[in-house]
Amino acid sequence: KQEVTQIPAALSVPEGENLVLNCSFTDSAIYNLQWFRQDPGKGLTSLLLIQSSQREQTSGRLNASLDKSSGRSTLYIAASQPGDSATYLCAPMGGNKLVFGAGTILRVKS
């Protein structure tokens, strides 16, 4: 059974900092891995999807890496802004199912 751990559980940083969110998973037999953002009381916004054959994906200030063999993924956010404040969820896909981590709650202070 896939288990996903996200560290840290919460993070508070001043605006402008670069930061790294970590995700680890126990079953490396994954098809892909997605990072999502969730604002309070809202649904999910897909940020990045990394195929199992890829090492990283970039979108704007976001960069996600994947090391499937070691069961790790990181989300790098450059030059953080208050609008980045949200919960970030990591979800590897095995078969056709996503398994979600508990998330990292990010607060960027202005």
Partner 1 sequence: GAVVSQHPSWVICKSGTSVKIECRSLDFQATTMFWYRQFPKQSLMLMATSNEGSKATYEQGVEKDKFLINHASLTLSTLTVTSAHPEDSSFYICSATNVYEQYFGPGTRLTVT
Binding residues for partner 1 restricted to 23-82, rule: CB under 8 A: 32, 34, 36, 41-44, 46, 49
d(CA 80, CA 78): 6
Q: 7, 26, 59, 97: which one contacts partner 1 (CB under 8 A)? A: 97
Specify the residue, 38 or 74, whose C-beta has the smaller distance to partner 1.
Answer: 38
d(CA 77, CA 25): 21
Query: What are the backbone angles phi and psi of residue 16, rounded to the nearest 5°?
Result: 100, -15
Specify the residue, 77 or 98, whose C-beta has the smaller distance to partner 1.
Answer: 98
Q: 75, 103, 106, 108: which one contacts partner 1 (CB under 8 A)? A: 103
Task: Answer yes or no: are the C-beta atoms of 15 and 81 closer than 8 Å.
Answer: yes
Q: Residue 102 carries which DSSP code?
A: -
Nearest distance from residue 67's CB to partner 1, in Å? 21
102 binds partner 1 (CB under 8 A): yes
d(CA 33, CA 84): 20
Q: List contacts with partner 1 (CB under 8 A).
A: 32, 34, 36, 41-44, 46, 49, 89, 93, 96-103
